[in-house]
A and B are shown apart, each in its own frame.
Chain A
Amino acid sequence: MTRIIQGTPVKEIVETLRQSKGYYITNTARDLSQSDFKNRILLHTDLMAGEKRDQAGYFSLEITGGASIHVDILRKQVDPFLKLKKLRESMPQTMFQTLCRGVNLFGYRPYPQNVIRFTVREFAKYVDVWRTFDFLNYVPNMHAVFEEVGKAGKLNEPCLCFSTGPEHTNGYYVEKAGELIEVTGKDITLCIKNHGGLGTPRRIGELVDALKQKYPEVPLHYHGHNTDGNDVGRIVEAVKNGASIIDGADFAFTGYYGPPPILTVVQTLKEYGFQAEGLDEDAVIETSEVIRDQRKYYEQFESQIKGFQPTVQIHKLPGGAMGSSLEQAAKGGFLDRMPEILHKELPRVQKELGNYWSVTPGSQILWTTAVSNVLDGERYGHPSGDLRNLLLGKYGPFPFYRPEEWIYEKVLGDDWRTMLEEEGGVEEIADIDLAHERYSLAEQIGIEPTDEQLILYLQHPNDAVEFFKFEEKYGQAYVLPPSVFFRKGGFEIGENLAFRDHHGKEHMVEIGPSPINDTGETSVYLIVDHHQSIFNFKPKKVMGQAGEFADLGKEEILDLAKAGDVRSPFSGKIVEISVAEGQEVIAGDRVAIMEAMKMQTPILSEIEGIVTGIHAKKGDALRPGGRILKIDPNE
């Protein structure tokens, strides 16, 4: 039983894998979170699990990458770098693994080379295993990442994206593996990325066998999803045929579209005579015991449709996109059209567009196209920009065949041939001026950004700036448990929230009453560490809703006044309306007098014109923006 410890040189890792008789396990916590909980599992929960997971002896913990970087800053308000640093504190032994979309990094479109290299360099300080893929299996799209990972002394795990269909033969994949190995060398782990959990156990077994026959010295890592409920079967066949590493997740949180439970895999493979290398089975069980109670707080993020989806073999959506697709359908009100979209249109589009791999960002293109084909009633009538780019070859060449000409014509227009000739093909994206970007970020956040901040900004400019502002205002919110962070409906009066802050200090916050005062503001009273704090909230502005009144701002009032619509500039009483209807006024004329807090203020006309309507009378109490009278401007 040889455990591989974080910090082991790449050559030694790969050699250990080559020598081992059993198999290793990657805990794909990130993929589980993305596939079954819309990426919302908080660092708080991962930190709770940290000690036991570290003890469990996994090959690696897949905990960053994919869509998680974006969701970390957008919805979980945690710095993806800080997340890795905190996890490392509680997990000193386990290698951390990421999922990188090659030239698309952690996003949906290709990035400039210097951004890719800078990003990989910074993340490689904390990430030991780099699983890198391209949705067209186009190897040049992954070059820069491979190189930077190699330079950082970390383990490259290039992927063969896997799918099914007549083109997806062992011959194709073995040849593709050769292309990859030519670039990366053999000191890697090669991943079969079965992002939809496609194919039968037998199919996976045959593929692993074919690859092992050709490249016996390259350790294989089988990655699957349990969407159809049969990934344990595929894992068993993969291991039987020579895979060195497989993926699973903690059973307390396993759902439908992510990886299967690690424990089930371990128990099953034991029967077949395969041992999980380095694994502490008790720690696997204990991890789930520690975090089991947290699952209920994430229920709101679980899929709208419960149960396994064996039809994934037809529509081929990746596990990571199942939840979000169903959510989109529910929100968009087209859940009832899903059978048509998933079982008829999606397979059709897939075939028409070259039977490439349904994985980010290619899966989004297939999905969006199928949805709009069905909902618009006109196939390819409203192509997305990304579909146009796909046809233009911006992402890379089609792996097997090109779509038929009518699709090109429909998507790109009549002069598609010229377009293809002039604009087609993978474009070299020009490097951007990093110094300028740094400067522009500094301007926005008011301090000199760190390299890590700059990287987050380069990935998601607006969301990163919002996140930095959040951090400045609310501190390190990852310390809050999901029961607080994701609370719906507010807290109970008297409820005590205990947590330890980023600096390790224990705090207690007790919820007090939240009265609404005369100005309409709500005051939230909290007892923070035995001291009362009050937080005031302005009433939410709801325009046009009965009973709701939206106060106008000073500038809006002035703008209206300049158009002859005289409004109350503050909360106060009308003391006098100084003009009559039909009266002519010039700018500066007093039209009314208002009183507030014992002070009388004249309301002056901003324009020259005729008073055409009087809406208020003496004694009326007005809010800011309340109507007083109307003046028709002289032309």
Chain B
Amino acid sequence: MKILVANRGEIAIRLIRAIQELGYEAVAVYETPDEMSRHIRIADEAILLGDGPRCDYLNIEKMIRAAKKSDACAIHPGYGFLAENPFFAKACVAAGIVFIGPTTEVIANLGNKVIARKIMAEAGIPMVPGTQNLKQGKEGIADALAFAAEYGYPIMLKATSGGGGRGIRRIETDAQMREQIPVARAEALAAFNDDSVYLEKVIINPKHVEVQILADSQGKTVHLGTRDCSIQRRNQKLIEIAPSMIKNQPLLDEICQTAVRAAKAANYLNAGTVEFLIDQEYKYYFMEINTRVQVEHTVTEMITGIDIVRNQINIAFGKPLSFSQEDVQIRGHAIEVRINAEDPKNDFMPEGGKKVSVYRSTGGFGVRLDGFVYQGYIIPEVYDSLLVKLTVHGFTWEETVGRLRRCLKNFAIRGPKTTIPFYENIAREKDFVNGDFDTSYIETHPHIFFYDDDSSEVGKLAGLIAEIHYAKENPFAG
């Protein structure tokens, strides 16, 4: 039996591993710029979708055709690309292919922020105060100003179809509100083909805590505990931790119960993530449900020992969950850092197009790597800059942070600049070490950007010494 992996990069490899461990065959797909990617080699079969870039990974028709061609009976979409596209899930079902994820209806409902809020409100899930989709024109603006008058600024103006940090803007004044609503609509129309927008009150410097859910087709829904993803830059997560460091177990238990309720209210199926914001008084608010396997699922796997992707596949094939809520044990702490080919000092500018001249990864007890690059790999410029996820697990928080520091120190990537030295600074920073951080962490700790560049003076000189050694004379001394 074959399962097609409709994704690339590290997540494609993660999915292929689970597929192969279950005894199935994995079919990889790729676009031409990805022809050096390792996910193609690891798969049992690989199919070229087209020259891309990015468009073929998003092309429902080509993906279905590839599945048909390879005789795959199921498709795992991973995250990003087609993962939360209800039309793709629908097309799979129509083609008689199992879509590994929630039903089309669940994806559609939860993908629409306003419908999702409505479902949650009806189920009594605590919500950030917000509006329905704003009406078009002056009426919508008037409603927006009324909302602002009631709850006060700052307020988030969000695109209903947005996500992943896109289509969000922060509004501080009435004047901005009047000015930004039409701008946001135009932008949302261009980006998501839907100009609906709505408002939400801003929770100042919240913690971002989310709960991993697994729900089978027999109606059993369990949670796998919490994750903290507060360390973000412009709503893009950088470091994820499990479980949450909030030292209030009854609160965390309550949040997990609420997450299960929320999933049930949405008739949830398969793996999902219920995201919450926690304000400084430790009040929590539902934010959204992500209907996919998340980048940071690894930390949950480390502390529970439960393979989320394996369960996703089993659930999709109609099998019941093999464990109950009581079987889920949280053990220790896990931290995941996303090692990206980016220059943190230069506004995280991607370093695509560069060759990974040295790739020396780390290992040992409590260390997990989810990556796809190798020495000699040329990073395509057309995709995201994630090279490898480093996840460390430890019995205590202190041990885990120490393991993270050790791993980062011994992790050598040369060629592109990476986020490694930036994470090294965080792993040494006092508040992080004490487990005390919220979404303002990056902006309130500017000193984490100060480190010696990877292209150190001695690294450069070593390059010259290597040249002299290789050429058997100094080619620059004529």
Contacts from A to B (Cβ < 8 Å): 40, 74-77, 470, 473-477, 479-480, 484-491, 497, 499, 501-503, 505, 507, 509, 511, 514, 519, 521-522, 524, 526, 528-529, 531-537, 597-599
In the complex, the answer to whether B465 meets A497 with C-beta atoms within 8 Å is: yes
Given A474-B463, A497-B465, A509-B462, residue A502 in contact with residue B457 (CB < 8 A) = yes
Q: Check A532 against B470 for contact (C-beta < 8 Å).
A: no
The CA of A397 and the CA of B426, in the complex, are separated in Å by 72
In this complex, how many residues of chain B approach chain A with their Cβ under 8 Å: the count is 33
Interface contact B464-A480, CB-CB below 8 Å? yes
Task: Check B470 against A524 for contact (C-beta < 8 Å).
Answer: yes
A511 near B469 (CB under 8 angstroms)? yes
CB nearest to A596 among chain B residues: B35
Q: Which of B40, B46, B465, B477 has the most CB of A within 10 A?
A: B465
Sample of 18 A–B contacts (CB below 8 Å): A40-B477, A75-B477, A77-B476, A77-B477, A474-B464, A485-B468, A488-B473, A489-B473, A491-B469, A497-B465, A503-B457, A509-B461, A514-B469, A529-B458, A532-B360, A533-B462, A535-B358, A535-B462
Closest chain A CB from B4 CB (angstroms): 15
| Besides A75-B477, A475-B464, A526-B462, 20 new A-B residue pairs in contact (Cβ under 8 A), listed by A number | A75-B476, A470-B476, A473-B463, A474-B467, A476-B461, A477-B476, A480-B464, A480-B465, A486-B474, A487-B469, A487-B473, A490-B469, A491-B465, A491-B469, A509-B465, A528-B459, A535-B470, A537-B467, A597-B41, A598-B40
B470 A534 Cβ-Cβ under 8 A: no
Task: Assess whether B357 is in contact with A534, with CB atoms less than 8 Å apart.
Answer: yes
Considering the complex, give the chain A residue whose CB is closest to the CB of B414. A533
Q: Does B443 contact A (CB under 8 A)?
A: no
Contact of A474 among B41, B46, B414, B460 (CB under 8 A): B460
A470, closest chain B residue (CB): B476
What is the bound-complex CA distance between A532 and B470, given in angstroms?
17
B363 interfacial contact with A, CB 8 Å? no
| B45 in contact with A598 (CB, 8 Å) | yes
Give the CA-CA distance A598 to B465 in the complex, in Å: 39
Complex partner residue of A75 from B357, B461, B478, CB under 8 angstroms: B478
Q: Which 9 A-B pairs have the closest CB atoms?
A: A475-B460, A535-B466, A474-B464, A524-B466, A507-B458, A501-B457, A528-B462, A475-B457, A490-B472
Flag if B458 contacts A485 (CB, 8 Å).
no
Q: Which B residues are within 8 Å of any A CB, using their own CB?
A: 35, 40-41, 45-46, 48, 357-358, 360, 375-376, 412, 414, 457-470, 472-474, 476-478
Q: Cβ of B457: which chain A residues have Cβ within 8 Å of it?
A: 475-476, 501-503, 505
A180 CA to B467 CA, complexed, in Å: 50
> Least Cβ distance of B469 to chain A in Å?
5
Asked if residues A533 and B358 are in contact (CB atoms below 8 Å), the reply is yes
Q: How far is the CB of B31 from chain A (nearest CB, A)?
A: 13
Contact present for A599 and B472 (CB under 8 Å):
no
Cα–Cα distance between A522 and B200 once the two chains are bound (Å): 58
By beta carbon, the residue of chain B nearest A479 is B461
Q: Which residue among B357, B414, B460, B462 has the maximum number of chain A CB atoms within 10 Å of its CB?
A: B462
- Neighbour of B48 across the interface among A75, A491, A507, A599, CB < 8 A: A599
Q: Known A486-B477, A487-B473; judge A526-B40 contact (CB<8 A).
A: no
A486 to B460, CA, bound (A): 17
Which of A476, A514, A524 has the most chain B CB atoms closer than 10 A to its own CB?
A524
Closest to B43 in A: A598
B40:A597 contact, CB within 8 angstroms: yes
Closest Cβ of chain B to A524, distance in Å, is 4
Q: Check A74/B458 contact, CB under 8 A, given A491-B469, A598-B40.
A: no
| Chain B min CB distance to A571 (Å) | 12
Q: CA separation between A40 and B460, bound complex, in Å?
A: 22
Which residue in chain A gives the minimum CB-CB distance to B360? A532
